Amino acid sequence: MKKLSFHPIQHFLTVTEHRLLVMKLCFKVGLYQQGLLHDLSKYSFAEFWVGAMYYQGNRSPNNAEREERGYSSAWLHHKGRNKHHYEYWVDYNSRAESAEEILIPVKMPIKYVVEMLMDRISASKVYNRGNYSDDLPLKYFAFSMERITMHEDTKRLLYKLLKMLSVRGEERTFKFIREKLLKRAAA
């Protein structure tokens, strides 16, 4: 077991920077309530303490905890309380006939897919600092998209939005989300 260091101030600043950026991005597409409430559980003891212990500044402390312990207690707490994570939308299949069918992904409501997009953009900006480009969130998603338990409709929509961001940039992607995607979802 490697020696852990404790960085509560740096972790607080990183979490807060991320939250404020997600809030700003959500506001740009009209998701005001989600922007205000985004990731508040990161300030809870269960998540904050672990995050401060595994803080590195250039990636999620959950990954460091996972490498050290074999799982992330902070992540288990977080994903069960935040609907913008696809893992929140995985349920138990009472009709399962095999081990592969026990857990099934549920289609996410569009407003949470949009918040997930904003979360991914913000995380890419915060952890990559001056090296961010609009294709980074797509590259990160493409690396794991075949292995994750996400409803196919949700996966297609997220990929479409990430691809649009990569090709057209934030302004045009957010305009599409605000003027078409969220309006269709509300109708």
pLDDT by position in tens, the chain (length 187): 566 789 999 999 999 999 999 999 999 999 999 999 999 999 999 999 999 999 998 889 999 999 999 999 999 999 999 999 999 999 999 998 998 889 999 999 999 999 999 999 999 999 998 899 999 999 999 999 999 999 999 999 999 999 999 999 999 999 999 999 999 998 8
| Whole-angstrom distance, CA of residue 101 vs CA of residue 167 | 36
Instruction: Answer for the pair 152, 106: CB distance below 8 angstroms, yes or no.
Output: no
Look-up of token digits 């994570």: 85
pLDDT at 2: 61
In terms of Cβ atoms closer than 10 Å to its own Cβ (0-12, 13-18, 19+), residue 29 is buried
Residue 156 region by backbone torsions, left for phi larger than 0, else alpha for psi between -120 and 50, else beta: alpha
DSSP per residue, 155-187? HHHHHHHHHHHHHHHHHHHHHHIIIIIHHHHH-
Short-list 134, 111, 113, CA closest to 122: 134
Take residue 82 and report the two structure tokens written for it: 């935040």
pLDDT at 99: 85
